[in-house]
Structure 1
Amino acid sequence: MPAGTALASVDARQTEALLRRLEWTVVRRLDGLLQGDYRTLFRGFGLDLADLREYRPGDDVRHIDWNVTARLQTPHVREYQEDREVSVWFLLDLSGSVGFGSGSVSKRDLLSDFTTVMALLLTRYGNRVGALLYGGATDAGASVVPARSGRRHLLHLLDRMHGTPAASPGDTRLRDLLERARAVAKHRSVLFVVSDFISAPGWQASLQMLARRHEVVAVRLVDPLEMALPDLGLVVLQDAETAEQMFVDTHDPAFRKRFAAAAQAREDELRLAFTQAGVACLTLSTYARLDLALLHFTRRRRHRQGAAATAKQENGPKEAA
């Protein structure tokens, strides 16, 4: 058997083993805890015209039918029959910093587990999943796995993800991945941007542009050691993006305080960027359970959706009056 064929067989077996492990350890647990919540977590973007009715305050102005409005001299909006199947894209940042992990689980392991679990849950009900694999600044462009359904396609996507090598040293340009997604995702879709968001500046505007057309969720990968340094004395730190090394004295309380302040400033900057873009953020830690993080995010999202729908119903009649 040729070496390439043997390697491919090993990779395929590893992908199947990962899928079975996560089905037993995470997916089945989520089935019991969510009780179907994830089935309506991301609703379809109905494309079939069902009816026309007069505009009411709070309606989405993008659904106004301008031809009917001009003819009847009264604003009318289009109502759609919901298409429950959605296209989901995983925008996967596989750059150098994602390989970091201070414990037994790296951020790349977390990325792999999250993508596997979500893709499995979504494809169970006929949704289409695809991926953009970004290996860092040295990549000519993110490679694309088209959005399709079915278990065989899911295995292909995961195999491509696992087969993408660790990135060579170089600054991450997350903007390149987001701009590539704008070109690839032609129709309204759900986009998971899975990254630690350690990147050259300039990606925030691209994220806002994506969120105008698609439903975007920022899945942020974090490790506790990135937020605070323990007292370890003199240590060598290496930049995972550039491979630059430097000696630091972690025994110095002032240094640890400056490190924590810089980490908090970055937290605030990211939180502001996600808020301005209007995207939800799911934070996954290398030291936390994936199933509980997904459960908490799902429940929080459904609560917000319910609150928004209630506010719309309460405000509509008052404004009309």
Structure 2
Amino acid sequence: MASAPDRLLRRLEWQVIRRLDGQLQGAYRTVFRGSGIDFADLREYTPEDDVRHIDWNVTARLDEPYVRQYTEDRELTAWLVLDLSASMRFGGAGQAGRGKDGLLTELAVCLARLFTQGGNRIGAVLYDNGLQRVVPPRTGRTHVLRIAHEIDKATRAAAALRGKPGGAATDVDAMLRLAAAQARRRGLIFVISDFLSGDTVNWQDALSRLTHRHEVVAVRVVDPMELDLPDLGLVLVEDAETGEQVLVDTSDPLFQQRLREEVDGREAAVAAAMRRSRVTAHRVTTDQDPLLALVEMVRWSKRRRA
């Protein structure tokens, strides 16, 4: 009998990947292309250029900004940086019946299969505070299946390590630093996470350093109830990572107001950190179709490249 990762890959290949392939076929050089490593030429800077490609020595000599052009590699190396922390297990009660971890798995497997179909290599960094696992970049469907199995195995192992209160919030900064240490060759990195790291946005510098060397796409996974908690009366709320519990009255207007202010503040802080890090950021919700989410990501990237 086929395992859950096998069944997932077959389902996604039938329902999603075949339909997406037309959007991406032959287009990774213009949609998700990474950065080449061979210097080719210099040309004058235009406002659409990435400032990271400015050659400051030539610019100083000629008193006009010039950018370096690189020959793009035919083979793209991509990485999936996957947040498997406790906060990613939130959700699953909505119309789609999918939690944040389920959406992460589907997005990761879809992206891995799409890129390997073009002969590109893809690796994965699986991260939880108490568990880190690295899958070196390879190509082919068998490798995608291995990534799916590793996600399933790591998710189960991370869940088994929890169970007791007093844990720590996700160390997103450490996750990004681990990714930078593994991805030594210039390429494309997908970070799939909720980017929740306690009460602070402590990961901005690590994300900025990652974007200096790689093209980074941040896929932020969110459950709608994290953005707008409905009136459910008295509810015992538990922090999935620290185990802290508190009884709240969701029908209390004052509580709803304070919650809205906290959510707005958190969303603004995360969005600002993404902008300052100069990262391509997308937000995907658990009630969203992964196909539509990926198509929108491709369309956005095509518009950006045009």
Q: Same fold (TM over 0.5)?
A: yes
Offset of residue 236 of structure 1 = 0.6
Residue 114 of structure 1 is matched in structure 2 by: 107
Ranges in structure 2 where 5+ consecutive residues have no aligned partner: none
CA gap 1:235/1:206 in 2 versus in 1, 3 angstroms: same
Deviations along 1:191-242, one digit per CA (max 9) or x if unpaired, are 1111111114321111111111111111101001111121111111111111
**CA–CA distance in structure 2, aligned partners of residues 117 and 301 of structure 1:** 17
Tell whether the 8 Å contact from 1:128 to 1:148 is kept in structure 2 after alignment. Answer: yes
Residue 296 of structure 2 is matched in structure 1 by: 296
**CA–CA distance in structure 2, aligned partners of residues 61 and 224 of structure 1:** 36
Higher relative contact order (CA 8 A, sep 6+): 2
Offset of residue 57 of structure 1 = 3.4
Residue 166 of structure 1 is matched in structure 2 by: 158
CA gap 1:287/1:78 in 2 versus in 1, 3 angstroms: closer
**CA–CA distance in structure 2, aligned partners of residues 232 and 210 of structure 1:** 41
- The one-letter code sitting in structure 2 at the alignment partner of 1:93 is D
Offset of residue 300 of structure 1 = 1.5
Residue 147 of structure 1 is matched in structure 2 by: 137
Offset of residue 144 of structure 1 = 0.9
What percent identity do the matched residue pairs reach?
A: 42
Tell whether the 8 Å contact from 1:131 to 1:144 is kept in structure 2 after alignment. Answer: yes
CA gap 1:296/1:75 in 2 versus in 1, 3 angstroms: closer
Ranges in structure 1 where 5+ consecutive residues have no aligned partner: 1-9, 307-321
- The one-letter code sitting in structure 2 at the alignment partner of 1:36 is Q
Tell whether the 8 Å contact from 1:47 to 1:80 is kept in structure 2 after alignment. Answer: yes
Residue 19 of structure 2 is matched in structure 1 by: 29
The correspondence for 2:121, drawn from 128, 139, 150, is 128
* TM-score, normalised with respect to structure 1: 0.81
Deviates more, 1:269-278 or 1:165-174: 165-174
Offset of residue 78 of structure 1 = 6.1
1:42 and 2:42 aligned: no
Deviations along 1:256-279, one digit per CA (max 9) or x if unpaired, are 121122111111111100000000
Deviates more, 1:164-173 or 1:37-46: 37-46
SS at match of 1:85: coil
**CA–CA distance in structure 1, aligned partners of residues 254 and 56 of structure 2:** 62
CA gap 1:64/1:274 in 2 versus in 1, 3 angstroms: closer
Pick the structure with greater CA Rg: 1
The correspondence for 1:57, drawn from 34, 45, 54, is 45
- The one-letter code sitting in structure 2 at the alignment partner of 1:210 is L
1:184 and 2:172 aligned: no
Deviates more, 1:56-65 or 1:266-275: 56-65
CA gap 1:231/1:75 in 2 versus in 1, 3 angstroms: closer
Deviates more, 1:173-182 or 1:193-202: 193-202
SS at match of 2:208: helix
Offset of residue 298 of structure 1 = 1.3
Tell whether the 8 Å contact from 2:45 to 2:54 is kept in structure 1 after alignment. Answer: no
Residue 6 of structure 1 is matched in structure 2 by: none
**CA–CA distance in structure 2, aligned partners of residues 193 and 99 of structure 1:** 17
Residues 1-321 of structure 1 aligned to structure 2 (within 5 Å): 13-32=3-22, 34=23, 36=25, 39=28, 40-50=30-40, 52=41, 55-58=43-46, 62=53, 64=55, 79-101=69-91, 102-103=93-94, 104-136=97-129, 138-139=130-131, 142-164=132-154, 165-167=157-159, 168=162, 169-200=167-198, 201=200, 202-306=202-306
Tell whether the 8 Å contact from 1:43 to 1:84 is kept in structure 2 after alignment. Answer: no
SS at match of 1:230: coil
Tell whether the 8 Å contact from 2:88 to 2:100 is kept in structure 1 after alignment. Answer: yes
CA gap 1:20/1:146 in 2 versus in 1, 3 angstroms: same
**CA–CA distance in structure 1, aligned partners of residues 219 and 168 of structure 2:** 22
**CA–CA distance in structure 2, aligned partners of residues 267 and 61 of structure 1:** 27
CA gap 1:147/1:35 in 2 versus in 1, 3 angstroms: closer
* TM-score, normalised with respect to structure 2: 0.85
- The one-letter code sitting in structure 1 at the alignment partner of 2:44 is R
CA-based RMSD of the aligned residues comes to 2.7
**CA–CA distance in structure 2, aligned partners of residues 225 and 188 of structure 1:** 37
